[in-house]
Structure 1
Amino acid sequence: MRKQDIVARLGGDEFAVLSVDCNFEDGERMGKRIQSALALCQVDASLGVAVRNPEQGLWQAQKDADQAMYSCKGAKKPRSATSVGAVLSGLIASLL
């Protein structure tokens, strides 16, 4: 996580990370680092990564990340998945 990143609890055991000036590859790397850190604590997580399309709002990016996360949960194996809009501007990673 970078100093300028924002981490928020959405509710229950669901969290989001908002990173500005972060591209899709940065988001995937961040997701892998989060999973590695959680694995050290013997915690499994399914992550969804979405990059905000400049023509969309942050809520749409959050919905895209949520969809990607639920596709991981459906696979019944902790992993990360990605949902691509356009690559630019922002990132939200929801994790469970």
Structure 2
Amino acid sequence: MAAPANDEITLVIDRAVAVVLFEFLSRTVDDADGEALAEFIEDESEVPALWALLAGLESVLTEPLAEDYERRVLAAREAVMKRFGGAFSGKGDD
């Protein structure tokens, strides 16, 4: 299968993962132009790349516009933890 002419890729991820990523990126990258991630950024191109990922998620997700968005984020976080487990021992088990 040939790559699209505009050099875009298609990424398939679980909807719950997409919602969790959207929420994370909204908080850390969209607010204050990514200043929350300043100490973790190695090159300034990483912030616009994360903005592009956030925009891509925003273009396909309906959850951010839902009245019960916060509940949906909580449910998505739960689903991700159930499927993949937590990254930090004891964290997220509340």
Pairwise same-fold verdict (TM > 0.5): no
TM-score (norm: length of structure 1): 0.25
TM-score (norm: length of structure 2): 0.26
Q: Which has the higher strand share?
A: 1
- Higher relative CO (Cα under 8 Å, sequence separation at least 6) belongs to 1
Q: Which has the higher helix share?
A: 2
